[in-house]
Amino acid sequence: MRVVIADPPAYTPYYDHDLAGALATAGAEVELVTSRFRFAELPAPNGYRRNELFYPLSSRAFRRSRLRVPVKALEHPLGMLKLARRPADVVHLQWLSSPQLDERLLRLRAPSVFTAHDLLPRRTASKLDLWRRLLARFDRVVVHSEHGRERLAELGVEAHVIPLPISASNVERRDDGRTLLFAGVIRPYKGLPDALEVVRRIEDARLLVAGDPSEPVEARGDRVEWRLGYLAQSELDRALGEGTVALFPYRPELDQSASLMQALGAGVPAVCYDVGGIAEPVRRFGAGRVVPAGDLDALTEAARELLDDPQALAGAREGARRARASLTWAASARAHLELYRELA
């Protein structure tokens, strides 16, 4: 089976790499169609082909220049035309770069699948009719949680749940038993102020903030260590190795979190608000604690429990290990191929 995985803006390059590699290992002929990732060197393709046919100029020449966006807009129609011409039994889009344009430009010749990673991306989340029309263009829609399936059902869209996989990592465990971890790209909806307040309330805990801010961050706070910027994998692994418990005080905006899966993959249990689908793997595998959305008191007490109770912490760590043993890339590839065979 010939499968084209398409991520035009390279929003999730590591996810794309892992999915393409897992599909190839499972026997598919896979081409990943994307653009150059501007922030890091990606792993070499493992069994699949990577074709950076989108945005050949804007992704290379302009970096953070204001010219990058208008040049990208001019390049986009040509990229979509090239995508439509790729030989495939199934085309699986991960992201749509410009939903308003893509409603007109999306003209795929092969059966198609779309993964709604963010359900309704934040910039166009209010345009429900646009997303109804766009999602109806695909033969299948994939989400990562039951919450996502139910949310799209409200729009009249039938979605298939394939959980977000976990990449197991054998980080060197160096945590002191009192370190709360806040990791990943720092955006307003991720609730960094709540994490800072939790560590302020737990007097003998420390907070490690590791990630690239999407907007200016005031790096202050008692017992807080800041490692800001786009972290290499080795630096992320070092942070995961130092974390006792990871905090996810997210606001309702996205369905699932790659940062959560990285924490569980490293054996770090999580304390999270019950928003989107984020709570589902934590609750299902007992990989930490889930508290009501926005309940800062409950978030603090759940973090305190895991830091203070060795038995509770050991149980949550075992839950993280169960999660990464179950939510594998091999299992994800099998579920995707089963879906593709319904179309090919």
What mean pLDDT comes out for the span 309-315?
98
Is the pLDDT at 41 greater than 80, yes or no? yes
What mean pLDDT comes out for the span 134-142?
96
In whole angstroms, give the CA distance from residue 231 to residue 210.
8
Residue 119 confidence (pLDDT): 81
Residue 240 confidence (pLDDT): 97
What are 11-22's pLDDT values in tens digits? 999 999 999 999
What mean pLDDT comes out for the span 114-143?
86
Q: What is the mean pLDDT of the chain?
A: 92
- Percent helix, strand and coil across the chain, each to the nearest 5: 40, 20, 40
Among 85-89, 221-225, 273-277, 311-315, the minimum mean pLDDT is found in: 221-225
Phi, psi angle pair for 246, to nearest 5°: -95, 140
The model's confidence at residue 253, banded by pLDDT at 50, 70 and 90, is confident
What mean pLDDT comes out for the span 66-90?
87
Q: What percent of the chain has pLDDT over 70?
A: 97
Is the pLDDT at 69 greater than 80, yes or no? no
> Both tokens of residue 257?
């979190």
Q: Which is nearest to 115 in space by CA: 68, 163, 82?
A: 163
In whole angstroms, give the CA distance from residue 331 to residue 23.
10
In whole angstroms, give the CA distance from residue 156 to residue 158.
7
What mean pLDDT comes out for the span 35-39?
86
What mean pLDDT comes out for the span 30-59?
91
- Domain 2-164+328-341: CATH class, spelled out: alpha beta
Q: Tell me the angle at which helices 233-242 and 258-265 cross, rounded to the nearest 10 degrees.
A: 70
Is the pLDDT at 114 greater than 80, yes or no? yes
Please list the alpha-helical segments (H only) found in the chain. Answer: 13-25, 58-61, 68-84, 99-105, 128-136, 146-153, 192-201, 233-242, 258-265, 279-285, 296-308, 310-326, 329-341
CATH number assigned to the domain with residue range 179-326, chosen from the 4 options 3.40.1830.10, 3.40.50.2000, 2.40.50.100, 3.30.565.10? 3.40.50.2000
Residue 216 confidence (pLDDT): 83
Is the pLDDT at 327 greater than 90, yes or no? yes
Tally of CA atoms within 13 A in the half-sphere of 41 that contains its CB? 2
Residue 295 confidence (pLDDT): 98
In whole angstroms, give the CA distance from residue 176 to residue 155.
47
What mean pLDDT comes out for the span 216-222?
82
Residue 125 confidence (pLDDT): 65
**Domain-wise residue ranges, the chain:** 2-164+328-341, 179-326
Residue 219 confidence (pLDDT): 79
Question: What is the identity of the amino acid at 242?
Answer: E
In whole angstroms, give the CA distance from residue 55 to residue 125.
25
Q: Which of 72-86, 117-131, 318-332 ranks highest by mean pLDDT? A: 318-332
2-164+328-341 and 179-326, same CATH topology: yes
What mean pLDDT comes out for the span 98-127?
85
Q: Which residues pair with 227 in a beta bridge?
A: 210
123-129-131-136 Cα dihedral, nearest 10 degrees: -170
Residue 61 confidence (pLDDT): 66
What are 149-198's pLDDT values in tens digits? 999 999 999 999 999 999 889 899 999 999 999 999 999 999 999 999 99
Place of tokens 């081409």: 31
In whole angstroms, give the CA distance from residue 230 to residue 14.
14
Is the pLDDT at 59 greater than 80, yes or no? no
> Both tokens of residue 188?
């307003």
> Both tokens of residue 336?
């995707």
Contact 10, 97 (CB under 8 A): no
SS3 at position 76: helix
Q: Which is nearest to 257 in space by CA: 311, 189, 159, 318?
A: 189
What are 226-246's pLDDT values in tens digits? 999 988 889 999 999 999 999
Contact 220, 206 (CB under 8 A): no
Q: Which of 16-30, 127-141, 230-244, 245-259 ranks highest by mean pLDDT? A: 16-30
